Amino acid sequence: MKLLLISNSTTAGQPYLQWPIEHIREFLNRGRDGAQRVRSVAFVPYAAVKFSYDEYEGKVQKAFDSLGVEVRSVHRLADPVAAIREAEAVCVGGGNTFALLKKMQEQGLVEAIRKAVEHGVPYVGWSAGSNVCCPTIRTTNDMPIVEPESFEAVGAVPFQINPHYLDAHPDGHAGETREQRIEEFLVANPGVYVAGLREGCLLRVEGRKLELIGGRPLRVFRAGDVPREISAGEDMSFLWG
């Protein structure tokens, strides 16, 4: 299993996907068998809401031009499941997680991606694309603008991710912090780990090896435990349960 799970695609003042692009390059350079460089990816654009799938494909292709990688969006194809099955690598973009999962379910892509990942097809996701690699999407930050069949997702990792994790509680804001929202989830779902993945960070998975990349620690939550700050280089094997 080879996963690159990215918190955010954009950093203020930088082009789209600029901050993680070198990590994506290195990840795709080793391909499925660890030697063959990936030359094309099957792209899942269904998290896009305020712009078209065509536009999303073009936006990602512009970023991937520097990698020499062709982006082939599954929305153009008559058989998206076959596209995933035959892909050198799979990329799932960010946006609205509910819209993404609903369309993936309708197209049969949840199971298709699960099988592809199990067979070693490299997977790159950012934001919502990281959420759908979890057992469910119940730790997304997004508004449920559409209703998927269920919250069940790919389940490539056994823990939940909260991308764009923020510590801040702005002055004058009376609503819950991100940590309080996660604590609510844990009351309803005891025994589940939640990884608060801060911006500018990503998780890399190779088999059962889990690595944090980025300059900020991962904040890990579990019901009954004090939240833990895990820095790059520290052991995170406990997240496999």
Residues with catalytic roles = 127, 142, 164
Compute CA distances 175 → 17, 168, 195, whole Å.
31, 12, 21
Structure tokens at 109: 């892509």
Q: Is the dihedral of CA 191, 192, 197, 202 positive or negative?
A: positive
Structure tokens at 155: 């389940």
* Nearest residue to 213 via CA among 201, 195, 221, 222: 201
The vertex-124 CA angle with 17 and 55, nearest 5°, equals 50
For residue 17, give every residue at least 6 positions away whose Cβ sits within 8 Å of its Cβ, in sequence order, or none: 9, 10, 24, 60, 63, 126
